[in-house]
Structure 1
Amino acid sequence: MEVDFLETTQFKRILFGGDYNPDQWPKEVWYKDMQLLTKADINEATINVFSWALLQPAEDKYDFSMLDDIIQLLTENHFEIVLATSTAALPAWMVKNYPDVARTDFEGRHHRFGGRHNACPNSPTFQKYSRRLAAKLAERYGQLTNVVCWHVSNEYGGQCYCDNCASAFRVWLRDRYNDDIKQLNEAWNANFWSHTFYNWDEIFPPNDLSDAIGPDNATLAGLAIDYRRFMSDSILHNFTDERDAIRDYDATTPITTNLMGTFKDLDYFKWAKEMDLVSWDNYPAYNTPASYTAMCHDLMRGLKNGAPFMLMEQTPSQQNWQPYNSLKRPGQMRSMSYQAMAHGADTIQYFQLRQSRGATEKFHGAVIGHADTDQTRVFRETATLGKELAKLGTQTLGARTPAKVAIIFDWENYWALEYSSGPNVLLKYVDQIHRYYAAFYRQNVSVDFIPTDLTADEMATYDLIVAPVLYMVKPGVADALKTYVKNGGHFVTTFMSGIVDEHDNVYIGGYPGPLRDLLGVWVEEFDALPPEQSNQVIFNDGETSQCNLLCDVIHLEGAEELAKYGSGEFYANSPVVTTHQFGQGTAVYVGTQLVDAGLDHVVEKLIDQLQLTHYQTPNDVELTRRQVAGSTFYFLVNNTGHSTTVDLPIEGVDLLSQKLIPSGNLAVEPFDVKIIKASTAV
């Protein structure tokens, strides 16, 4: 598979730092910050994220004097700089003078100045001034050796439904449908509810004033999905505009923007093709499973074909914007930082380095808190981590994660499945992805995330590909999967797969549509279970489990039954989990939502069948691998607040303690971490 990224090994060390906003403070505070941050072995600052109003106080005036001073101070104190373009929040004068830059929301209200992430992506005014600012920054600072990365905008997202977006959407549609409105009507099944269009200007964005049925449903799902595609493309164009403006003055420094895990609005696989490296912001809640955080790290790594990523933001202690902003427990920030490294991070960065004294983020945690001292638990823990990372040096930089299992994650499936009216309001795309990921996580099986557009040859890198709820099967996907399995690959998919085409029109002839011959089954109908109901599943080997949410009524067409429904429903004793020999490989179909024990049973059988590398550890204690230049590093991370014992299958030197770690039983303290450079690999 071709690799289309700049290697993050161009960083000379693990970047350890984060967002820094000295423009919110007088200069005497800056000098104190340099002393404190240096004491914590912080070596990087992300600056200029929200400074547009300071950099451009008026339409015809730019002022870089404060930014000059900030960069000079950071340079004198040997900080590397991630330089942002400031375009994530508009200046007030721009909204006042050019109202087109503000968004129109889902309810049809045109916004005034306020907030952030507030620009209409199709505003000619925004496009003009954002490009111009990015160019001026690159011209002024692009040749500085300690500017090691460009950070375009910040946490892109949101939707706009203004007239500019409506006009641009029609242009986008004409291109997508070859200027043939009949083709569009067919794609959208537009005869439904008298929706046939005869002129392009009859089409409007699907918001609350037009064709949306609430924010998560739509009259014509094809229209709503196309608007999602269009808006993701529009915002991506904002990114590439600024990226290209930077490249006019700086040809080599990597350019990124911070993504947000499973964030729904943007097709991150498409975005990653335009980014030099992936960065993302990790903000789990107090009750987020460790497996979910690991999944998000692996998804971000997968966007660039397994390349290491930047952990651009995390909090050293607590957030301020979640319902319950619990403190991280002693040691937890350290373990979460190393969990990110275990799954592919080559940087550890925070929001933020100094805590704001006012406005909405004043209670968001920081390395330097409101106490304004180094005598805090958070500062001490940060400094301890900084010293460890400094000693670790460059050993792990650029290391890859070897994986023989891949899970398909597809944003268009995400949108389409959740626009569907039925069959069960509790059916959510990311939930289903996480359930399967978590089953492999519990066995410490490394997982890559892949898009749907890989060729069969690219898929052949993996022994097993899993595609939960592959609801939308786009052109070429079924054929690639069939070739992959026919040539010896193994495939798992589930209920609500193979249902619709790329326009959300159902494949006629029986579910799972174009996957039917691959799976050797056809599904007559599916039963949606309310939360209080469940069914029994009986496996051929005698194991039993419960299932819920959806139950397919399945007919075998060459597949073999691996499990059947228990008694209680008219489809009792009919197959629910099947396997089908297809060429040299196999395809497994799971026609219901198994509870964890049942899903673990399926996954354990696959691990045994395919002889996948896995490790047994206590719950939420993970053992992962990264490899670089002939060295293998095992990251043992206790994500829990209690002590435990691990039967370690390898031996080597712990890079953090410099102690030899023998194989066998190893006591692990709460939130403890070992990075073991293996003398033997398992």
Structure 2
Amino acid sequence: MGLGAAARGRLLYGGDYNPEQWPEEVWAEDVELMKRAGVNVATVGVFSWATIEPEPGAREFGWLDRVLSLLHANGIAVCLATPTASPPPWLGHRHPETLPVDFDGRRLSYGSRNQFCPSSPVYRKRSLELVTDLAARYAHHPAVVMWHVNNEYCEVCHCDVSAEHFRRWLRARHGTLDALNAAWSTAFWSQRYGDWDEVVPPRRAPYLINPAQRLDFARFSSDALLECFLAEKAVLRAANPDVPITTNFMGLDQPMDYWSLAAHEDVVSHDWYPDPSDPKSHVGTAIAYDLVRSLAGGPWALMEQAASAVNWRHRNPAKPAGQLRAQSAQAVARGADAVCFFQWRASAGGAEKFHSGMLPHAGPDTRVFREVCELGADLARLEEVVGADVRASVAFALDWESWWACRLDAHPAGDFDLLARVRDFYEPLFDLGVAVDFVRPDADLSGYALVVVPNLYLLRDASRFESFVDGGGTLLVGFFSGVVDGNDRIHPGGAPGPLRELLGLTVHEMAPVERELRCESELLGEFTADFWLDDVAPHGAEVIARAGDAPVVLRHGRAWYTATRPEPAATARLLAHLVESAGVPRALPELPSGVEAVRRGGFLFLVNHNDDPVTVTVPGGGVDLLAGAGTGAGGGQGAEAAPADEVELGRFGVAVLRQP
């Protein structure tokens, strides 16, 4: 069971619908405008706990009955949410112990959202009672095609209840206090624990906090949220095992190990809000969409995006005309079978009243709503794409535990950013039109030609990488990898730890650099590098590039290592060489700058992220499924059959070509 069970052979299109914010006489207008826009799904109830349960034990389902019946009668499916992400004020008022405590020991108040402690027995009891009643009433409702559990799990709590839960989790993980003390290296700074009650979550302290304690707390916090999800899932599954279950991820974020959570979802959903003022936002978006497709193992759902401006950045520009279409097509190109928004109708009050909606404050006679309608027509033309997958020959290794660990204090560089390292290697592949999957470090890599490890600071074992290279694969590893084990302890002999023999080198010292490095290479030419410089001792590795006497790019058979951050042009040359030598396919032989090319099944998606029109050469041409649709927003031009070798894309233009 997956997204196909909800999609039923069509791309899902819609958004969060919050009718409780509006008088009931508005609902009929909403539904008529949804039909005009081509909306076929609405996510209902995400923040409706206080409306359903206005006081403890009450149940007000009548309004929800009418909303679901209205949507169903008009052919609009429902993704029904459990409204447990935002408890009502009465819960925090009557049970302040359910409210979260932050790192500084301050108990946070209600009056916002996400105001719950994931470990709180009271919160869990109250939320599951509500979910149980919700499931009993709607699990077999004909409108409900999917369950949406909670919303953007991200809550972390440092309270005493969480402390007791943390201790139980640590007992299960480590077994004994002696084992905990060894794992946490508590001989350092006299931190040895003699009683389990002495162990607490990381809290504000005079100086640096034990990094292994912080790492375990990140693992625990992720598991605590997973427990909440699984408890709700169990209730929903028991009520009707045929309705798929999802919860929405928060883009490239770290509150949970999404590999672990995705394994328990029927549908992987994702919220993403690219910045309209960033001319390269489409690259970060591509990373996010490739990651969520990899988490899903196939088609996924874009649960939230903005129709225009958001409300939470320092400055919140509107999306320019046509960008909404281009960004939505980008999601479908990279595996989405659902394109949805937060939210349907822009709120008149509350903290998100300046967050755009599919239906703006100014109503349907607006550019945004016209583009929403055009997008609905576009997506209806793409039914052939539903269920198709994106095949990648390149994989990026990404591990949440290593991500948490590399952000801890007291490292060589406090500004080390894993996502920046991912982007360093990803952007050249994007420009080449090379599809990318993300994988866990312990995944089977045999189906790939090239594997990139931007950073694995924490690495227990390198056997998967060794088998991959032994089988003829090409491996590229970035600096600051293989430094520590699962307890944040330095590997014997230093970096790159388990990768030492595979890479044929040892890192004697690692350090950030403030100066620009001048590098030379027969393969890569002259280039500059910055940010980092490993003192590398090769023992079998061939030096490909040097900065003076210092090796900065090395190769050991098919395994490559970068000991610095080469300038983007040099990294692009390196990746182009690896793509060619590894036989990695590209979507097209050549791509204009700013144009995205992705093959999904038998379809070639072309998206122009530029302000200016471009011409793309497509050997063999193809039939554009969107021909004649949305051309006012910069769509593909001309007749149904694309010219044999050229496709004209207007500003933010899109073409979806069916090819042999």
TM-score by length of 2: 0.96
Residues 405-416 of structure 1 mapped to structure 2, 5 A cutoff: 405-416=394-405
Cα deviation 1:169-219 (Å, max 9, x = unaligned): 0000011002x11111111111111101111111111022x48x5xxxx42
Cα deviation 1:544-600 (Å, max 9, x = unaligned): 1111111111111111111111xxxxxx2232111112xxxx110111111111110
Give the number of aligned pairs.
Answer: 644
Q: Does 1:560 align with 2:538?
A: no
Alpha-carbon shift at residue 242 of structure 1 (Å): 0.6
Residues 97-246 of structure 1 mapped to structure 2, 5 A cutoff: 97-178=94-175, 180-208=176-204, 210=205, 218-246=208-236
- Give 3-state SS (helix, strand or coil) of 1:364's partner: coil
Q: Does 1:385 align with 2:375?
A: yes
Q: Does 1:635 align with 2:635?
A: no
Residues 562-581 of structure 1 mapped to structure 2, 5 A cutoff: 562-565=544-547, 572-581=548-557
Which of 482, 486, 500 lines up with 2:470 in the alignment? 486
Alpha-carbon shift at residue 663 of structure 1 (Å): 4.0
Match of 2:440 in 1: 451
TM-score by length of 1: 0.93
Cα deviation 1:590-643 (Å, max 9, x = unaligned): 11111111110110110110121123212220110111xxxx111000112211
Match of 1:469 in 2: 455
Q: Is the 8 A contact 1:155 1:260 kept in 2?
A: yes
Match of 1:539 in 2: 521
Match of 1:548 in 2: 530
Alpha-carbon shift at residue 221 of structure 1 (Å): 0.8
Q: Does 1:661 align with 2:653?
A: no
Residues 298-377 of structure 1 mapped to structure 2, 5 A cutoff: 298-305=290-297, 307-372=298-363, 374-377=364-367
Q: Is the 8 A contact 2:524 2:545 kept in 1?
A: no
- Give 3-state SS (helix, strand or coil) of 1:676's partner: strand
- Give 3-state SS (helix, strand or coil) of 1:667's partner: strand
Alpha-carbon shift at residue 10 of structure 1 (Å): 4.8
Match of 1:676 in 2: 657
Which of 547, 555, 569 lines up with 1:597 in the alignment? 569
Distance 1:497 1:649 in 2: 41
Cα deviation 1:423-475 (Å, max 9, x = unaligned): 12221111111211112111110000111221xxx21011111111211102x
Distance 1:645 1:35 in 2: 39
Match of 1:523 in 2: 507
Match of 1:613 in 2: 585
Aligned AA (2:618): L
Distance 1:480 1:545 in 2: 32
Aligned AA (1:469): N
Alpha-carbon shift at residue 391 of structure 1 (Å): 2.9
Alpha-carbon shift at residue 28 of structure 1 (Å): 1.2
Q: Is the 8 A contact 2:42 2:79 kept in 1?
A: yes
Which of 35, 55, 60 lines up with 1:58 in the alignment? 55
**Structure 1 residues 182 and 650, CA gap change in structure 2 (3 angstroms):** farther
Cα deviation 1:262-305 (Å, max 9, x = unaligned): 11211101110111110011101121521111100000011122
Alpha-carbon shift at residue 665 of structure 1 (Å): 3.2
Match of 2:631 in 1: none
Q: Percent identity?
A: 37
Alpha-carbon shift at residue 514 of structure 1 (Å): 1.2
Match of 1:277 in 2: 267
Which of 34, 37, 46 lines up with 1:40 in the alignment? 37
Aligned AA (1:252): D
Aligned AA (2:441): T
Q: Is the 8 A contact 2:345 2:358 kept in 1?
A: yes
- Give 3-state SS (helix, strand or coil) of 2:110's partner: coil
Q: Is the 8 A contact 1:9 1:398 kept in 2?
A: no
- Give 3-state SS (helix, strand or coil) of 2:406's partner: helix
Q: Is the 8 A contact 2:3 2:301 kept in 1?
A: no
Distance 1:513 1:367 in 2: 51
Distance 1:545 1:650 in 2: 37
Distance 2:32 2:524 in 1: 65
Aligned AA (1:677): R
**Structure 1 residues 10 and 61, CA gap change in structure 2 (3 angstroms):** closer
Match of 2:418 in 1: 429
Alpha-carbon shift at residue 160 of structure 1 (Å): 0.5
Aligned AA (1:651): G
Q: Is the 8 A contact 2:524 2:574 kept in 1?
A: no
**Structure 1 residues 119 and 542, CA gap change in structure 2 (3 angstroms):** closer
Q: CA RMSD in A?
A: 1.4
Gaps of 5+ in 2: 628-638
Alpha-carbon shift at residue 145 of structure 1 (Å): 2.8
Alpha-carbon shift at residue 157 of structure 1 (Å): 0.2
Residues 47-86 of structure 1 mapped to structure 2, 5 A cutoff: 47-86=44-83
Q: Does 1:504 align with 2:488?
A: yes
Distance 2:355 2:109 in 1: 26
Q: Is the 8 A contact 1:635 1:675 kept in 2?
A: yes
Which of 420, 441, 445 lines up with 2:430 in the alignment? 441
- Give 3-state SS (helix, strand or coil) of 1:318's partner: coil
Alpha-carbon shift at residue 388 of structure 1 (Å): 1.8
Alpha-carbon shift at residue 542 of structure 1 (Å): 6.0
Q: Is the 8 A contact 1:132 1:245 kept in 2?
A: no
Greater displacement, 226-235 / 63-72: 63-72
Greater displacement, 507-516 / 19-28: 507-516
Aligned AA (1:543): G
Alpha-carbon shift at residue 6 of structure 1 (Å): 2.4
Q: Does 1:257 align with 2:247?
A: yes
Q: Is the 8 A contact 2:474 2:578 kept in 1?
A: no
Q: Is the 8 A contact 1:8 1:309 kept in 2?
A: no
- Give 3-state SS (helix, strand or coil) of 2:60's partner: coil
- Structure 1 residue runs of 4+, over 3 Å off? none
- Give 3-state SS (helix, strand or coil) of 1:335's partner: helix
- Give 3-state SS (helix, strand or coil) of 2:2's partner: coil
Alpha-carbon shift at residue 135 of structure 1 (Å): 1.6
Q: Is the 8 A contact 1:645 1:667 kept in 2?
A: yes
Q: Is the 8 A contact 2:71 2:143 kept in 1?
A: no
Q: Is the 8 A contact 2:402 2:457 kept in 1?
A: yes
Q: Is the 8 A contact 2:68 2:143 kept in 1?
A: no
- Give 3-state SS (helix, strand or coil) of 1:660's partner: coil
Greater displacement, 653-662 / 254-263: 653-662
**Structure 1 residues 542 and 174, CA gap change in structure 2 (3 angstroms):** closer
- Give 3-state SS (helix, strand or coil) of 2:384's partner: coil
Greater displacement, 283-292 / 501-510: 283-292
Match of 2:619 in 1: 649
**Structure 1 residues 10 and 560, CA gap change in structure 2 (3 angstroms):** same
